[in-house]
Chain A
Amino acid sequence: MNLTLHVWRQKGPQVKGKLETYQAKNISEDQSFLEMLDDVNEDLIKAGKDPIAFDHDCREGICGMCSQVINGKAHGGDERTTVCQLHMRRFNDGDDIVIEPWRAKAFPVQKDLIVDRAALDVIMQAGGYTSCHTGGVADGNALLIPKPTADYAMDAAECIGCGACVASCPNSSAMLFTSAKVAQLAALPQGKAEAKDRVRNMTQALLDEGFGNCTNHYECQDACPKGISVKFIAKLNREYLKTVAK
């Protein structure tokens, strides 16, 4: 199939960018969206032009690097899908496709479709101390955590920190990301000790990093490639309320 791409090109963080048009020719419907971009880049390199810069790593849907808004939807808008797992069969021959980077003050564009998501790391760091043992999986029942609680924490831990919640949020809020971390740790005994400081510090870091406030649009939940529920934001709010009562 042949496609017309409208891709955000921006030479650097301080430079003004714009959408430029490219033709993607002879694209197979079995290719992933990133493989399609690889093909386009090869043509650009052969023509002596600067290839489109985009982030990618695992190409199996778990690294969360591919910060692309495709036709107005984070990661293309398919349910629980990152860009590497989006396939060209989802498009039709002759389609126009608009590809933009995440847009948020807290995610400055580095080049073309690459954004700096370090602000999410700052929120993580504000969460305080956690210990993670490497090596083999812990023995069953070695830690006395009820199964529903472990499942709940695991659902929150599914977050891959891709930033789609921020990209899709009308307020550019990172509340779903933050709530996944707060809820995961608050549910487990290891996280209880610092629970009150954690929720305050992480939400403060969210504001300090330039993210917006959550106003319950719930766009994040639909955009999340891991299906993180906004119930975790409700949990974060409960955790915050506990700190007010103290």
Chain B
Amino acid sequence: MHLFTSTVGRKILMAVTGLLLVGFITIHLIGNLTIFAGNEAINIYAAGLHSMPPVVWIFRLVILVLFAIHITFGIQLTVENSAATPEQYAIQVTQKTTFAAKSMIYTGLIILAFILYHLLHFTMHVVHTDAIEPYNQLVNGRHNVFGMVGTSFQSAFITIAYAIAIIALAFHLTHGLQSFIQTLGWSNGPSQDKVSAIGKLVAIAYGVLYVAIPLAFLFHILKV
């Protein structure tokens, strides 16, 4: 199909899958933020979610497909683009592009590595088992997600690992959000800078809200 092979088609696929993944991290963030609503709120949320396995699995499958498209084309386009510039300039001064735009492949790969780690941590309970195991028993018919998360983030190592990934995500979004608008052809000349500025603000908001959770536990604002 033309969409999967052409230069603009793949750009549009990157933009659309990217935005849908932003939709996913939005839902994920809202769920996560219930942690600030008392010790039981996130446990009730998690139990509610897992009481509907078909919904969870369809959701996971969709996310997997979105990630597969976004990552495959992201890598493919990066490889093509570096092949288009075989010889580098002795000096190259950029005037408009940003650190975020130039580092999309790196922040993307950091996020990918983080997702695998994050799944091994809270979903599959393979790593950091000392922080997870005490909460494996059901209390009132629910997992104690609050305790699991809280105990994990008392470790500075885990918190730093999460913070690095969240910073990478924020950078990825600063380029990605405005890029989406341009790629779908919704920007005109004058709106370009405004769209970029709004994209940056939204990206920072995601970063701050996500990182608030590990930091809240690390600095004992939230206590297990």
Contacts and interface: CB of A to CB of B under 8 A. Distances in A.
Interface residues of A, number: 53
6 contacts: A104-B85, A105-B83, A171-B85, A173-B81, A217-B97, A230-B182
A219 B90 contact: no
B57 to A, nearest CB: 30
A222 B96 contact: yes
Interface of B: 2-3, 6-12, 77, 80-81, 83-97, 101-102, 104, 175, 178-179, 182-189, 192
B81 A207 contact: no
Which residue, B7, B101, B182, has most C-beta atoms of chain A within 10 A? B7
Interface in A48-89: 69, 71-73, 77
A231 B81 contact: no
B95 A73 contact: yes
Given A204-B6, A230-B192, A98 B187 contact: no
Contact of B95 (A103, A211, A223): A223
Given A103-B85, A237-B184, A240-B12, 14 more contacts: A8-B90, A105-B84, A105-B85, A168-B94, A170-B81, A173-B84, A204-B6, A206-B7, A213-B77, A216-B175, A237-B183, A237-B185, A238-B185, A243-B2
B127 to A, nearest CB: 34
A166 to B, nearest CB: 9
A105 B93 CA distance: 19
Interface string A97-112: 0101001111000000
A233 B183 CA distance: 8
A225 interface: no
Contact of B11 (A71, A98, A237): A237
Nearest to A234: B185
A200 interface: yes
Contact of A172 (B85, B94, B178): B85
Nearest first, the 7 A-B pairs at minimum CB distance are A238-B185, A212-B84, A72-B93, A72-B91, A171-B81, A217-B97, A212-B81
Contacts of A214: 7, 11
A86 to B, nearest CB: 15
Contacts of A215: 11, 77, 81, 101, 104, 179
A173 B81 CA distance: 8
Contact of A216 (B81, B86, B183): B183
Nearest to B10: A213
B65 to A, nearest CB: 19
B145 to A, nearest CB: 38
Contacts of B8: 199, 203, 236-237, 240
A222 B97 CA distance: 10
Contact of B93 (A71, A233, A236): A71
Contact of A237 (B12, B93, B97): B12
Contacts of A171: 81, 84-85
Nearest to A232: B189
Given A100-B89, A171-B85, A216-B178, A231 B9 contact: no
Contacts of A237: 8, 11-12, 182-185
